[in-house]
Structure 1
Amino acid sequence: MTLQEHCRIEPLDQAHALHASFYTEPHWLEFEQRAVFGGTWQLAAHSGELQAAGDHVVGDIAGKPIIIVRQADGSLQAFFNVCRHRAGPLATCNGKGARALHCKYHGWTYELDGALRAATEMQDARDFDKSAVRLQGIRVREWQGLVFVALDASAPPFEQVFAGIAGRIAPTELSQMRFAKRDTYKLECNWKVYIDNFLEGYHLPFVHPGLSKVLDYRVYDTELAQWHSLQHSPLRNNDGIYGDGNAWYYFIYPNIMLNITPGRLQTNRILPAGHGHCIVEFDYYYTDDPEVQARVQAEQAFSDEIQAEDISICEHVQQGLASGSYSAGRLNPKRESGVWHFQNLLRAAYARHG
């Protein structure tokens, strides 16, 4: 089949899964870094890491080094973490209260807003205009205590990507939750396998017997928006793990999950680590409510159990995709609409960039 045929959008009740070659052929990763991760809003930090002027966070987004800096007026600015002299880093780790950004290679100094303040020993450079040099900026947004960046101007408007989420989860305020810990996992599967798995509850009765008792599979539902999807269910029989209320599982295209239960936010960031491996970062945030704090240990142990089950099935699926015996199966319209939605966004990206 041609790329155009692989990228054809089918109605949900006639839809096939994405072809196995997108999960197994190495050349797709370079394209995805550029056009998928580089062309979307990416989770890069938490507001708690950037509380005061000069606080800064460094990171890697779509294979490119970035730095986010809190300004004196309270706003955030983000830049490529690349000196305009000879590409040295402005910082090699997160920091607090910096008054300026100093290149670690040759000492060029930038204001927090990216303007060049001083260029070491450049007095003999003819026609060198210090005022014309500044760090290359990146779009940055702060939302519900989370900080996102977009490398490419073609990324959709932030308000469009996150439309309706804050209102839907109200009165919950994610910004009121404090960071507790990060767990990092490396999986032997393509990054898309892990996301496909997240996006459907079809596997719950077969892979997650414990979670199936907590979520009501009969009313487990998926809702689709333009750039995100939501799976939700009432909570039940959870023996002090989550508390009373609802579970909200948001997926933000292409690789961010917001798992919200009463008093808790768990963010997942899925990063490719080669075409056949991925890294999954779990960050936990909780309110200070004593009832919530009393559940933390049990909730994290339960999350570890679910994650072990997901790792096992995802790695087996990757083996199946690479077996040569599978191409693209039919999707379940009732249970796999989230997979269909995600894969269609990918198809559009693949087709758009050829």
Structure 2
Amino acid sequence: MSISVSPSFIPYLFSAAGVAALISLLARYLSQTRPYKDPVPAFLKDTTSTARALPASWYRSPEVYELERRAIFAKKWILTTHKLRFTEPGSWVKFEQAGFQFFLVKNKQGQINGFHNICRHRAFPIMTEDKGKSSILSCKYHGWSYGLNGQLAKAPGYDDMKGFDKTKNGLLPVHVHVDAKGFIWVSLDSSKTPEDFSTEFKNIDQMARHEGFNFEDYHFDHTWGMSGDYNWKTLADNYNECYHCKTAHPDAADVADLSAYRVDTKGGNIEHFANTKPEMEEQGLKIVSNYYFPNACMTVSPNFFYMMRCVPTSPGHCSMEYEVYRHKNATDEGFQTIDAMFKRILAEDKWLCNNAQKNLNAGVFVNGEMHPKMEQGPLYFQHRVRGILNGHYQLEKAVGKEINPAQHVPSDASRGTESDMGFCSGLACGKDAEQLAW
């Protein structure tokens, strides 16, 4: 058997794009053949013994944060918004996730497309406002413009440039999945085939607890947000238990039976269950809450549904971004009552997290003993974080360099790019060699 090799293959193999492709293939092979085996946590096997939380250093370390960006936010499917926000062709909304900027836009065929918020010329953001409507996506730096499908439409002065290919300079895409309920999920993985959505969220749009809600009967009402001086995981831990509710949210007991509160964990989904009192259900306060790994949650009620994303901005800071959707039959009084209640509870949670983070930062506290039943939610969340970070770190250790799934290396990057990237990488490896122990 003879094997023919294209003359252009060898130069490509040693180019930046070729090396990146080889690393990607190796990472995928290793992830399938030598996955990090995170043992079944003790809190799932024995609910009579306490369990230790993640150390405080995981909530303040810049190195852990950067690893989270690569292992989680550059790769995992993330619940982002709902199609109800995109009412007509050209409607777009900008988002940010752990330093990654992207936007979603509805094209003329009614599909939702996603792109990194980066002009392919000099990296200026295409979208500088939070939301809007456009027929052409234009960069305000040098005037490059793109269609709603991300294809480069105009690059002033480049028509006669030898070697310039407009088809290779479209916007960098992100993967978009719209589930049967209309919720929009995004993966920033630059590979053509991202992680299988069903790995974490199989049948997520077929949950029995959502059968009583028709999401087409709601409409987008408003957004609001808060900034927090705490690590994103601090809020995730707080959200995923109601052990604190009796103390920190005294009137929560008027709405639900807190003694019956529990969570069920299924892949990337943490389902919260609380027995709403009958008289509260009659007032429209029946609620269904879920946390979607890594950083999104949603509460659904007859009057509205609430989406929240806890957006990491640095190791010790995050932004809470909320989307509020109102049911078409909700009265002003009913909607405003529950909206005000949730905003007050979320402000109370912010106060809790801000103050807890101060001591996580101080270097005195290491970790505490958590209750295997009443704090099963945060223990499960931490278990997922620990396993994913360890697994990704092992892959990086195997190939001897950082693996950023979100990075797009141009296919023709051989024109000097590989040597420039190698120079910078060499400096970084020298700085981080001892720290990363590669």
* TM exceeding 0.5: yes
| 1:178 is aligned to 2:214 | no
Q: Distance in 2 between matches of 1:25 and 1:264?
A: 37
Matches within 5 A, 1:124-139: 124-139=160-175
Q: What is the CA-CA distance between 1:160 and the residue it aligns to?
A: 4.0
SS of match in other structure, 1:99: coil
What is the aligned counterpart of 1:263 among 284, 300, 303?
303
| 1:28 is aligned to 2:64 | yes
Cα 1:86–1:217 change in 2 (3 A) is: same
What is the aligned counterpart of 1:11 among 12, 37, 42?
42
Number of the residue aligned with 1:250: 290
Cα distance per residue 1:255-294 (max 9 Å; x no partner):
0011122232111110123222222122221211145x43
Q: What is the CA-CA distance between 1:320 and the residue it aligns to?
A: 2.9
Aligned length: 345
Number of the residue aligned with 1:114: 150
- Matched AA of 1:250: N
Cα 1:242–1:145 change in 2 (3 A) is: farther
- Matched AA of 1:322: N
What is the aligned counterpart of 2:323 among 274, 278, 283?
283
Cα 1:289–1:117 change in 2 (3 A) is: same
Name whichever of 272-281 and 250-259 sits farther off: 272-281
Q: What is the CA-CA distance between 1:341 and the residue it aligns to?
A: 1.2
Q: Distance in 2 between matches of 1:178 and 1:332?
A: 39
Cα 1:249–1:53 change in 2 (3 A) is: same
SS of match in other structure, 2:101: strand
Cα distance per residue 1:59-110 (max 9 Å; x no partner):
22331222222122211211122222222333322222x3322222222232
Q: What is the CA-CA distance between 1:155 and the residue it aligns to?
A: 5.5
What is the aligned counterpart of 2:231 among 190, 195, 210?
190
- Matched AA of 1:149: V
Q: Distance in 2 between matches of 1:191 and 1:203?
A: 18
What is the aligned counterpart of 2:383 among 325, 341, 344?
344
Q: Distance in 2 between matches of 1:313 and 1:72?
A: 45
Q: Distance in 2 between matches of 1:208 and 1:18?
A: 25
Number of the residue aligned with 1:3: none
Q: What is the CA-CA distance between 1:124 and the residue it aligns to?
A: 3.3
| 1:316 is aligned to 2:355 | yes
CA contact (8 A) 1:57 1:69 kept: yes
SS of match in other structure, 2:161: coil
SS of match in other structure, 2:143: coil
- Pair member with larger Rg: 2
Cα 1:103–1:186 change in 2 (3 A) is: closer
SS of match in other structure, 1:265: strand
Q: What is the CA-CA distance between 1:238 and the residue it aligns to?
A: 6.2
Q: Distance in 1 between matches of 2:320 and 2:169?
A: 37
- Matched AA of 1:115: Q
Q: Distance in 2 between matches of 1:67 and 1:280?
A: 18
| 1:146 is aligned to 2:177 | no
Q: Distance in 2 between matches of 1:77 and 1:137?
A: 8
Cα 1:55–1:270 change in 2 (3 A) is: same
- Matched AA of 2:351: S
Q: What is the CA-CA distance between 1:237 and the residue it aligns to?
A: 6.7
Q: Distance in 1 between matches of 2:136 and 2:340?
A: 42
Cα distance per residue 1:302-325 (max 9 Å; x no partner):
223312321222222212323433
Q: What is the CA-CA distance between 1:225 and the residue it aligns to?
A: 0.3
Cα distance per residue 1:181-210 (max 9 Å; x no partner):
223112222111111011011112121110
Number of the residue aligned with 1:100: 136
Q: What is the CA-CA distance between 1:352 and the residue it aligns to?
A: 1.4
CA contact (8 A) 2:120 2:170 kept: yes
CA contact (8 A) 1:102 1:109 kept: yes
Number of the residue aligned with 2:82: 46
Q: Distance in 1 between matches of 2:75 and 2:39?
A: 21
Q: What is the CA-CA distance between 1:164 and the residue it aligns to?
A: 4.0
| 1:227 is aligned to 2:271 | no
Number of the residue aligned with 1:207: 248
Q: TM-score, normalised by structure 2?
A: 0.72
CA contact (8 A) 1:242 1:261 kept: no
**Consecutive unaligned residues in structure 2, runs of 5 or more:** 1-37, 394-438
CA contact (8 A) 1:58 1:66 kept: yes
Q: Over aligned residues, Cα RMSD in angstroms?
A: 2.4
CA contact (8 A) 1:9 1:347 kept: no
Q: What is the CA-CA distance between 1:223 and the residue it aligns to?
A: 0.5
CA contact (8 A) 1:18 1:343 kept: yes
Q: What is the CA-CA distance between 1:211 and the residue it aligns to?
A: 0.8
Cα distance per residue 1:107-153 (max 9 Å; x no partner):
22322212222221223312323334322211012233432211014
Q: Select the structure that is richer in helix.
A: 2
CA contact (8 A) 2:80 2:309 kept: no
CA contact (8 A) 2:201 2:267 kept: no
Q: Distance in 2 between matches of 1:161 and 1:10?
A: 18
**Consecutive unaligned residues in structure 1, runs of 5 or more:** 1-6
Kindly, what percent of the aligned residue pairs are identical? 30
CA contact (8 A) 1:240 1:298 kept: no
Q: TM-score, normalised by structure 1?
A: 0.88
Q: Distance in 1 between matches of 2:365 and 2:288?
A: 32
Number of the residue aligned with 1:79: 115
